[in-house]
Amino acid sequence: MAYKLLFVCLGNICRSPSAENIMNHLIEQASLSDGSADAKGDRILCDSAGTSSYHIGSPPDRRMSAAAVTKLGIKLRGRARQFQKSDFQDFDLILAMDQENYENILTLDQTKQYQHKVRLMCEFCSRHTLKEVPDPYYGGQEGFNQVIDLLIDACEGLLIYVNSQQAII
């Protein structure tokens, strides 16, 4: 059975789709996937969502996409969607980009039965010391580049963590 990851930011057009696409890229590089998100037998499945409804249906931000192409040579795929309560049941791990996203997600868990599934993305960084992935939306291109670097670090650590979890299962 696949291990399911959900990356969450505010609007689901910058940070979380970048994390989803970077993670898929790393999974593909590690030969854990055939590159198809729907493939049977995939060990790790990724998705992303936003805590707000601002950008539902929108593609990833073009500036974020440009940074992903420049830094990693990957094209960001996907369409923005809003986080749903059903995501608590559907995903094994829910990764919030910042403290506000984290708190907004936990607010939806009235029974507190899923809190153990919600973590901050930067907990998985090994090279960067930031505790949150900053929102680059209102800044310049350097902010988008920083987010890609930070997410590469976090996703590498996350992949190691997920593989260790799957070894236990």
Catalytic residue numbers read: 9, 15, 135
Q: In what order do the strands lie in the sheet with 93-96?
A: 44-50, 3-9, 93-96, 118-120
> What are the beta bridge partners of residue 5?
46, 93
Give the Cα separation of 23 and 77 in Å (integer): 12
Cα–Cα dist 65/112, whole Å: 35
Which H or E element spans position 16? Answer: helix 15-29
